[in-house]
Amino acid sequence: MKQVVDEKKFKFIIVMIPIMNYEGRKMKKTRRGSKQKNAVLNAAKELASHPTAQEIFFKAKEEVMSISFGTVYRNLGVLVDDGDLITITSPGSEAHYDHNVKNHCHIQCSICGKVRDLDFPAVDFQGILPSDASGFTVDGVCVTFTGMCRYCKETKEKENFNEC
């Protein structure tokens, strides 16, 4: 088991996703913000830890008691389209949301799925030509490293200690 975890520790994946929709950003000013949408955005900002939809739902409920999970989920989609939030997705893990829409890198725990910002230079994608990117016009980049968070590492070490 320990072997598998150690291998994962050094694995990193690069996922390219459009981090902002520039057209959507321009349109944002003309859209009327609903009470629910504001509650969802406020919750994502207050949690400030790359929360999941579920975590945002519980936080948004503090502002709008009657809000449903479906409404939260739908508004998360709108906020991502508007460029107010970005999603961090990786295989086998639910989506996490980030109110910091600037180009920056993340690290995700392979055990508990927690996502944090990584103090690592953001990847510069501005110079990538369509000819180098299979004809795609690159408009964003999201690099997600994987590893083991401090909490999971300590838990693992305690487990190994108890096994001895």
Q: How far is the CB of 112 from Zn ion (least distance, A)?
A: 3
Query: In the chain, what is the straight-line distance between the N-terminal and C-terminal CA atoms, in Å?
Result: 15
Interface residues with Zn ion (CB under 5 A) are 98, 100, 109, 111-112, 114, 117, 149, 152
Q: How far is the CB of 133 from Zn ion (least distance, A)?
A: 24
Q: How far is the CB of 107 from Zn ion (least distance, A)?
A: 10
Q: How far is the CB of 61 from Zn ion (least distance, A)?
A: 23
* CB closer to Zn ion out of 36 and 93: 93
DSSP, collapsed to helix, strand or coil, labels residue 46 as: helix
Report how far residue 57's alpha carbon sits from residue 39's, in angstroms, rounded to the nearest whole number. Answer: 9
Asked if 43 and 97 count as a contact pair (C-beta separation under 8 A), the reply is: no
* CB closer to Zn ion out of 64 and 147: 147
Asked if 95 and 87 count as a contact pair (C-beta separation under 8 A), the reply is: yes
* CB closer to Zn ion out of 60 and 143: 143
* CB closer to Zn ion out of 67 and 98: 98
Please give the angle made by the CA atoms of 50, 55 and 61, to the nearest 5 degrees: 130
